[in-house]
Chain A
Amino acid sequence: MNFQIFMQQLINGITLGSLYGLVAIGYTMVYGILRLINFAHGDLLMVATYAVIYSMALFMLPWYLSFPLAILFTGLVGILLDRVAYRPLRNAPRISLLISAIGASFLMENLALVIIGGVPKPFPRPSLFDKVVDLYGVKIQVLTIYTPLTTIVLLLGLLYIVRYTEVGKAMRAASRDFETTRLMGINLDRVIALTFLLGSSLAAAGGIMWAMKYPQVNPFMGIIPGLKAFIAAVLGGIGSIVGAVVGGFLLGIGEVLIVAIFPGLAQYRDAFAFMVLIFLLIFRPTGIMGEAIVDKA
């Protein structure tokens, strides 16, 4: 493999990894507060892409209006998800919460199947992102540059909210201790709703960029990216926002490079992430940047 192909693959990996990272942030935020894997998180990718398709097709919106609207809409779906599926179970055993999450995930997928149908739809990628740049013989689609940049910008924005604002402080407090946070006069349900809003919006941004990279949209498109993003979150250390993005990059680059270096393994690509997960849980369950997981009483 020569240098140019290597660079090409590395850039592919970075793009894929930044998408995993964006989706992983939502997992890690919800897990930090509720200690719950939001199984339906991956399906929010699908919700966002269909929101874009419909707003562009039905209301003739240009992409720069349709994308933010779809992101907002997905954020609201995230809040609704928490309200309907998780809030009634705040004091229930953990297994009930997880089962409810799985139920919600299947409900969203199959509702989409019923309403929209199972035929894959093409995603209307704005032609702006189709351009190809030639960098010392390495051909790069503009999209592959924008994707990691967007991820970094969104990550910085989120870090600002979490570290330097009042609500961010409330979110960090809630991830430590529910009871004490309540005693401090913080409306916990509102903080959790905000967490879902932020996490789901980032998943929506990830979903839209995913659909621009792989422009075939179907009701089940969110499952595999969702699972891999979760693994990225574990890899980075669950609960850590920076860790989620780092884990996403590592997983994305690893996945692309392994297939590039050993083409014979291409069939096993989807299994790679799970192998990473299994070895991770054996040797370093806390991930790269994670602290030991404490059970919240």
Chain B
Amino acid sequence: MDKGLKKTILNISAIGLLFFALWLFDRYGTEYHVRILNNIAVFIILAVSYNLVNGICGVLHLGPNAFITIGAYTSALLTMSPAEKKISFIIEPLIWPLSVIQVPFWMSLIIAGLVSTVFAFLISYPVFRVRGDYLAIVTLGFGEVVRVLCNALQGVTNGPLGLKGLKPYTNLWWSWAIAVITIVVIQRLINSSWGRAMKAIREDEIAAKAMGIDPFRHLLMAFLINAFFSGVAGGLLAHLITTISPTLFTFFLTFNLLMIIVVGGLGSTTGAVIGATLFAWGSEALRIVESPMQIGSLYIPGIPGMRMVIFSVILMVVIIFARKGIMGQREFSWDWVFAKIKRKHT
């Protein structure tokens, strides 16, 4: 059997196995398990696509929370029924075309991704005129502008009240199917000539330019793809949490994503997946440190903020002492697995 076919079969069976495991959890797992699994999938979508900009292209983009917010609002406004919208928008009625439209969940996700992409395209010119620290601040500033707009444009977003009572459409199948699609699309892009050009820009932009690579086009591509998947993930999150408000997706979320990809290894999709899994599981497990504890007769009050202290210490320790993270820039591959197995047998 030739190698390509073998790998395809292995990939498909691995995905099959994953969905079988999900089916088991869906059927027999507790609500707690399902929630963690959903979070893992959403964070995989966000981290893998975020890694395309930060890890593969090597520019520090700090605004994915803006695109997540845009996606969440778009998707939520599209799935609510006209009657629900009429009840929700108390202060100012929703503007006309949005107030009567209602589309199925899958279509709202696609439109959410597209709207995010359009916004990304609109700000791409000022963003990619600069590099490094400036780019970081401009993208961070865009996140702030989106938050301000969400608060102010009451006719579209319902202002600080947010949108409540969304239908919990997001389930394990939606979130994991999209996570798998994200990984496949991004991996194919990274392994194409586009991906190699992006890595060349990361290593040395001037040298890449001299080889005939247009940095703007390639960075824009990564930025737009990241915005699309962030928007879709925002739609998933909106229908997972069922309530959204302007202060829900702040810079905290971006910080968490940054930590995921740094710990996993900047530039590695496998690392992003591992990081997302560890984070989604870890932030639930670490809830213990923020809730009050009773050990025998000793009562320890919960300390809010302790998780973020632990996370920021982890981020700094990794970036100072183990800059490569868990995976470095390596990826998981079947060849590596075969080599391991072979070595064991001989």
Contacts and interface: CB of A to CB of B under 8 A. Distances in A.
A76 interface: no
Given A113-B304, A268-B148, A282-B129, A99 B138 contact: no
Contacts of B58: 95
Interface string A71-97: 000000000000011001100101110
Contact of A274 (B54, B142, B303, B309): B142
Interface stretch (A104-112, A134-142, A183-191): A104-112
B320 A89 contact: yes
B303 A103 contact: no
Nearest to A38: B133
A285 B128 CA distance: 12
Q: Is the interface of A mostly helix, strand, loop or mixed?
A: helix
A103 B312 contact: yes
Contact of B125 (A96, A111, A275, A282): A282
B165 interface: no
B316 A95 contact: no
Contact of B309 (A98, A104, A110, A267): A110
B308 interface: yes
Contacts of B125: 282
A88 B320 contact: yes
A92 B318 CA distance: 13
Interface string A14-48: 00000000000000000100011100000000000
B319 interface: yes
B213 interface: no
A133 to B, nearest CB: 35
A94 B130 CA distance: 14
A111 B309 CA distance: 6
Interface in B130-169: 130, 132-134, 136-138, 140-142, 144-145, 148-149, 151-152
Interface string B297-326: 000000111101101110110011101000
A281 B142 CA distance: 13
A227 to B, nearest CB: 7
B323 A96 contact: yes
B255 interface: yes
Contacts of A230: 137
Nearest to A116: B305
Contact of B137 (A118, A270, A277): A277
Interface in B251-269: 255, 258, 262, 266
B141 A98 contact: no
Interface residues of B, number: 43
Contacts of B140: 227
B152 A267 contact: yes
A274 B141 contact: yes
Contact of A95 (B60, B129, B308, B309): B60
A37 B137 contact: yes
Interface string A251-279: 00000000000000001101101110110
B133 A99 contact: no
Nearest to B154: A267
A118 B136 contact: no
Grouping DSSP codes into helix (H, G, I), strand (E, B) and loop, the B interface class, with mixed when no group exceeds half, is helix
Contacts of B123: 278
Nearest to B132: A94
B126 interface: yes
A99 B129 contact: no
Nearest to B259: A103
B303 A114 contact: yes
Contacts of A85: 316, 320
B148 A99 contact: no
Contacts of B321: 88
A282 B145 contact: no
Contact of A99 (B126, B144, B258, B313): B258
B319 A96 contact: yes
A36 B319 contact: no
A102 B258 contact: yes
Contacts of B311: 106
Contacts of A118: 304-305
Interface string A165-191: 000000000000000000000000000
A92 B262 CA distance: 14
A69 B308 CA distance: 29
B164 to A, nearest CB: 21
Contact of A114 (B62, B148, B306): B306
Nearest to B256: A106
A68 B149 CA distance: 40
Interface string B53-70: 010001010100000000
Contacts of B129: 281-282, 285
Nearest to A293: B134
B312 A110 contact: yes
Given A85-B316, A106-B255, A282-B129, A99 B262 contact: yes
Contacts of B148: 267-268, 270-271
27 contacts: A35-B133, A37-B133, A84-B316, A85-B316, A88-B320, A89-B320, A99-B60, A100-B316, A100-B320, A102-B258, A102-B315, A103-B319, A104-B316, A106-B308, A110-B305, A110-B306, A114-B303, A227-B144, A267-B148, A271-B144, A271-B145, A274-B141, A275-B145, A281-B126, A282-B126, A282-B129, A285-B130
Given A110-B308, A113-B308, A281-B138, 4 more contacts: A88-B320, A102-B315, A103-B316, A270-B144
Interface of A: 31, 35-37, 84-85, 88-89, 92, 94-96, 98-100, 102-104, 106-107, 109-111, 113-114, 117-118, 219, 227, 230-231, 234, 267-268, 270-271, 273-275, 277-278, 281-282, 285
- A-B pairs, 3 with minimum CB distance: A113-B305, A274-B141, A107-B312
